[in-house]
Structure 1
Amino acid sequence: MDQLSATLLSAPVLFFILGALAAAARSDLAVPETIAKGMSLYLMAAIGLKGGVEVAKAGFGTELLVALAAGLVLSAAIPFLVAPALARFGGLDRTNTGAVAAHYGSVSVVTFVTASEVYGNTGFAIAGFMVAVLAMMETPAILSGLFLARQKGGRLFAPELLREVLFNGSVVLLLGSFAIGALLGERGFEPISPLFRAGFTGVLCLFLLDMGLIAMRRILKTRALTWRLALLALVFPVINGAIGVLVGTAIGLDAASAAALGILGASASYIAVPAAMRLSLPQADAGLYLAMSLGVTFPFNIVLGIPLFRWIAESLGGML
């Protein structure tokens, strides 16, 4: 209960709730798209740099390699775990099943960033190398989703899709800034740390205000989201996140990093995967997969998932 209160009363989550309430009240409050894009770039660069600096301090080791392998397997496998429920219980056709499943295998950078901030403020620090795991989990799910959605005789991976998957902006910026942080180390990072450390929480608050507005408006506008699909959008993060925490604990991650792997397993992409789906599966219902990932799963994870996966990780750690 204390963890839930700490999460709900953290500034970033309160700004998200403010945005959602404003949208529900039909307020005209809005964040200009160019500013929102700039904030997104800032947050990804900041989290990548800080993660790289932490890895430079601790050094590269087997723990990083094992965590990367676990993340890649999770990202590739989760679409196959959720696809039967989407098809049988959710009533989706093959194309939409593959498209939605890809979103749930991939990750939400903002959910991870918010969890890092909330956890860090209470001394529950996530290992810096988890940023690399975050970046690596963006793309395998896209390939799995396309495999699930493929039609007989159809071409699975077009060149333009492979380029979008391998070089999409969020992956390039996260990995690139992570590498820069690792090369700079703490001393090299010090001159730019006022920008990327002092302003981080404030920018995150404004970005989550925008996310709250978008998420609620997506829910209010969509007509494709049935009660069955909305229920799945709440069940998937709980199950996938619990699997992530279990895997993280099993491979020897500390409790905070195991919780972070749970957050990554629970989150659903609403940036990288929609871009890939527009290229490869234009016939899939974009309103549907965005309503599920951004309108339902994202708010659940921000408000309830972050404390839930910490509780699971700490409970499992206490049993060992």
Structure 2
Amino acid sequence: MSQFLPDILAAFFITALIAQRCSVDLRLPDAAYQLITYILLITIGLKGGQAITSNANFSLIGQSGLIIVMGLIITLIALLIIKVGSKLNKLDTITLASHYGSVSVGTFAVAVSFLELHNISYELTLNLFVALLELPAIVLGLYLLGNKQNKLDLKTIFAHKSLALIIIGMIIGGLYGEFSKPLVENLKPMFGVMLALYLVHMGALAGSKIADIGSNKVFIISFGIGMPLLGAAVGLAVAWMIGLSHGGATLLAVLGASASYIAVPAVFEQAHPKANVAQALFASLAITFSFNVIWGIELYSKVALLLTH
């Protein structure tokens, strides 16, 4: 029977989305949502810091540079597709592309849990790559828009909660190394439930945003499904170049396929208030996040297995 059902993590998301469309609002209170995201982000940061401590060498520097280039390439691919395939203005084109050049920490957390549920190991350096992939698209987007207040914008980027929590976790995990591992181990029993609640909230949120698609329905839906596949292909190519395992390649594909719905909207809303962030949020959350959680992660894992064996 279970073989005909979606992955258990996807099931929480799907049922919450359906409930929202049936006027049952399952979105969490703001305080509960913030607590859950804090736990997810701190855990990812700690693992990234531990990875730096145990894998600190010149090859990690080279890999980190390649990861940053990967973020820029995906952003440029998104820009080209939007320019050729849509009639969006320059501001909205760059805003949408920046969302897809950055990453979704939530999607990454779901993918990590997927691997753990299936007993698939992965390199801890992927937690470092999450933080590295947050920035390139944002910086490139602001540069292309020629904002005169780039100094203020960069300060906003580095002060954003999601990135700040990851960096804090990485610093502490890096400084304390083995001593910080019990913190992550102690979080494991509650991590699954926290992630289930997070997906219930995100499913309800995606369901509530379906009405925000606007006049670009066909392009936004097509882009929201097609761009993750291209981003995942770039991620898999980079994973092959680095020599990652099945689990590591899966996670890098997920990062390439994901789109930001936290850091990028916050930065662009402040830097460029006239940008159509609602449209970008619909694409990244209601379409791309849904696609990745329901179908994408499992698909990327299967392709990564073929690539690494």
Task: Provide TM-score, normalisation by structure 2.
Answer: 0.93
Partner of 2:221: 230
User: Is 2:211 the partner of 1:211?
Assistant: no
Give distance in 2, aligned partners of 1:213 and 1:155: 35
1:7 touches 1:118 (CA, 8 Å); kept in 2?
no
AA in 2 matched with 1:138: E
Question: Would you say 1:119 and 2:115 are equivalent positions?
Answer: yes
Match among 295, 300, 305 for residue 309 of structure 1: 300
- Paired residues of 2:172 and 2:180 also in contact (CA < 8 A): no
> In the alignment, does 2:84 pair up with 1:88?
yes
How far the C-alpha of 1:82 sits from its partner, in A, is 1.2
Secondary structure of the corresponding residue to residue 168 of structure 2: helix
**For residues 233-253 of structure 1, what are the alpha-carbon distances to aligned partners after superposition, in whole Å with 9 as ceiling and x for unaligned?**
100000111111111112212
Label 1:208 to 1:218 Cα distance change in 2 as closer, same or farther (>3 A).
same
Deviations 1:250-289 (A, max 9, x none): 2212221122111111100000000111122211112111
Q: What residue is the counterpart of 2:34 in the other structure?
A: 37
Q: Secondary structure at the match of 1:186?
A: helix
- Counterpart of 1:104? 100
- Aligned residues of 1:80 and 1:144 also touching (Cα < 8 A): no
| Paired amino acid for 2:153 | L
Shift of 1:63: 4.3
Please give the TM-score of this superposition, normalised by the length of structure 1: 0.90
Unaligned runs of 5+ in 2: none
Structure 1 match to 2:66: 70
Corresponding residue number in structure 1 for 2:175:
183
Instruction: Provide runs of 4+ in structure 1 moved above 4 Å.
Output: none
Farther off after superposition, 97-106 or 222-231 = 222-231
- Residues 232, 193 of structure 1: CA spacing in aligned structure 2 closer, same or farther, 3 A cutoff? closer
Q: Deviations over 1:97-138 (max 9, x none)?
A: 000000000000010011011012212122111111101110
Distance 1:216 1:75 in 2: 28
Q: Structure 1 residue 225: deviation in Å? A: 4.2
RMSD: 2.1
Equivalent residues of 1:224, 1:288 under 8 A apart: no
- CA–CA distance in 2 between the matches of 1:52 and 1:142? 23
Going from structure 1 to structure 2, the CA distance change for 1:299 and 1:122 (only over 3 Å counts) comes to same
* Alignment partners' CA distance in 1, 2:48 and 2:187: 12
- On the 8 A contact 1:241/1:262 being kept in 2, the answer is yes
Alignment partners' CA distance in 2, 1:155 and 1:18 = 42
Aligned partner of 1:298 in structure 2 is: 289
2:153 to 153, 156, 161: 161
Q: Which amino acid aligns with 1:158?
A: N
Q: How many residues align?
A: 308
2:13 aligned residue: 16
Q: Which moved more, 1:16-25 or 1:214-223?
A: 214-223
- Unpaired runs of 5+ residues, structure 1, are none
Aligned with residue 79 of structure 1, among 75, 80, 84: 75
Cα deviation digits, residues 191-223 of structure 1 (max 9, x gap): x34642211111011011000000111113432
CA distance in 2, matches of 1:299, 1:82: 19
Alignment of 1:262 onto 2:253: yes
CA distance in 1, matches of 2:246, 2:103: 20
SS of 1:8 mapped into structure 2 = coil
